Amino acid sequence: MHPRAGTPALPEDLIDVDALVGAYYDGVPDPSDPEQQVVFGTSGHRGSSFRTAFNEAHIVAITQAIVEYRAAQGTDGPLFIGRDTHGLSEPAQRTAIEVLVAGGVEVHVDARDSYTPTPAVSLAILRHNGAGTSQGVRTQGPGLADGIVVTPSHNPPTDGGFKYNPPHGGPAGSDATGPIAARANELLAGGWRQVPRTPYERAITSDLVKRHDYLTAYVDDLANMIDFDAIRGAGVRIGADPLGGAVAEYWGVIGERYGLDLTVVNPTVDPRWSFMTLDWDGKIRMDCSSPSAMASLVNRMTAGDGPAPYDIATGNDADSDRHGIVTPDGGLMNPNHYLAVMISYLYGGARPGWPAAAGIGKTLVSSSLIDRVGAKLGRQVIEVPVGFKWFVPGLIDASVGFGGEESAGASFLRTDGTVWTTDKDGPIACLLASEILATTGKSPSEHHRELVAELGESWYARIDAAATREEKSRLAALSPNQVSATSLAGSPITARLTEAPGNGAAIGGLKVVTDDAWFAARPSGTEDVYKIYAESFVSAEHLTQVQAEAKDVVSAALQG
């Protein structure tokens, strides 16, 4: 923990935005350097122009690769594009529009020439492709839309990000990102300067660029997701902090449109994020699940002897696909705790229009409290690898009612049981917290305490362990029979998993389970470490023992 974690940023912590944007245009990546190539993680390509990892060349190459990929797939409808508030997002969107228009793609941009949350782009794609109609979402045929979101999510202000959403509206899988990244790197190595481009001022006024009112479409449709009558009737006082992100302009409109007692806690948009408190490592990071990054909002809710200014306070990251929930009686909720509360509430009678067989989607590194809640409700828990893309098919066909990640990302079905978004949606998770309070009279923190009293308390944490690139490759390719251990922290091992039980997909690592604990180990995509997620239903000391033995189990498996 950095000594200044949770304290306000100082002038020396802030970036020079002009220099960042200048480096975007001036820097030319070395295509032979792996650190400067196009790499799609679970949420697209990310990097900083200061490190020559996110530059004009990258965006030209990736966008051209998308133009070619969508043509090969027969995706000939409009492409919806949105950007967040990072300093590199606007120049990257301009570059992308130049390439898209030159490639003959119809591009739908924000009608206000402003910021667009990730879920608003997903919603636009799905609505165009039939969501909410009797035909349902089309995934093939003429006129299909897809999209691009220009965002590095909660990453520091130095970073840029670029992600592709196919016609299913969710994050692209490796079947798309693999060929897109490969083609982009080909262009990066020789040819990106020859990619056709229409100068921006001509492109933005061309017949191929259409204006789409993302804000109104999203805000109006929220009536099909949240019980605003209950929130308004109960007089829930809401403090919504967009953390300088893309939903900054949305929260005020949501409050006005639905007559809520809602205060936009900090409407400031500043690509330096000068108003933030520093994260755990001393960096500025818009992580709404981090107590350090959310310190100012938490302090407002919990400091002093008087009543809290809000009944529910919320935060979102820069592209608004994640949520943070703060209550007067519990502070910032652990993401796993709130996932369990949402699931308990939604499946416990709050959504009678949902299919009776709709399962619960969770990632394999999310808390096992969710499994216990699912068992209590008599609902199937579908455990998938890390990445929201795994929930997309289930949300589209309503075989999954809720999909959630341990990193505070979730989406769920409309009240009528049809698909809403297939990408993570921070605002609906935030608004649901107020609905829960309004309809039950209890805060989400109170609901979590009740779940713990009934189903057991757990201790959960993630740590990193050093690993070489070769060790990370071996970890990603492990098979269960390479794990020779028979017990973990005093309990017999009941499962050794290298494939997710919910869909049989490779997890790119290892999960080991006992009756009262588990750990999962996955290689980092950006650092020479592997991540160990672990949970114990015994004690904090037992969790520490699980973590220690997890390293030994992984080490033995890698050596064996």
What residues are labeled active site?
Answer: 153
Beta-sheet strands, E only, within 40-126? 40-41, 44-48, 79-83, 107-110
Cβ-in-10-Å burial (0-12, 13-18, 19+) of 204 comes to middle
d(CA 220, CA 231): 16
HEC secondary structure over 517-560: EEEEEEECCCCCEEEEEEEECCCHHHHHHHHHHHHHHHHHHHHC
d(CA 97, CA 120): 19
Q: Are 324 and 288 within 8 A, CB to CB?
A: yes
Q: Which residues contact 205 (CB under 8 A, 6 or more apart)?
A: none
d(CA 25, CA 226): 43
DSSP state string for 165-195: E-TTSS---HHHHHHHHHHHHHHHHTTGGGS
d(CA 113, CA 126): 22
Give one word for 398, left, alpha or beta, with left for phi > 0 and alpha for psi -120 to 50.
Answer: left
Query: Crossing angle, helix 426-440 and helix 118-128, to 10 degrees?
Result: 100
Q: Which of 298, 288, 236, 302 is nearest to 435 (CA)?
A: 236
Query: What b-and-e string marks burial along 76-94, b requiring 16 or more CB atoms within 10 Å of the CB?
Result: ebbbbbbbbbbbbbbbbbb
d(CA 96, CA 56): 9
Amino acid occupying residue 22: G
Amino acid occupying residue 187: L
d(CA 538, CA 514): 12
Query: What b-and-e string marks burial along 50-68, b requiring 16 or more CB atoms within 10 Å of the CB?
Result: bebbbbbbbbbbbbbbbbb
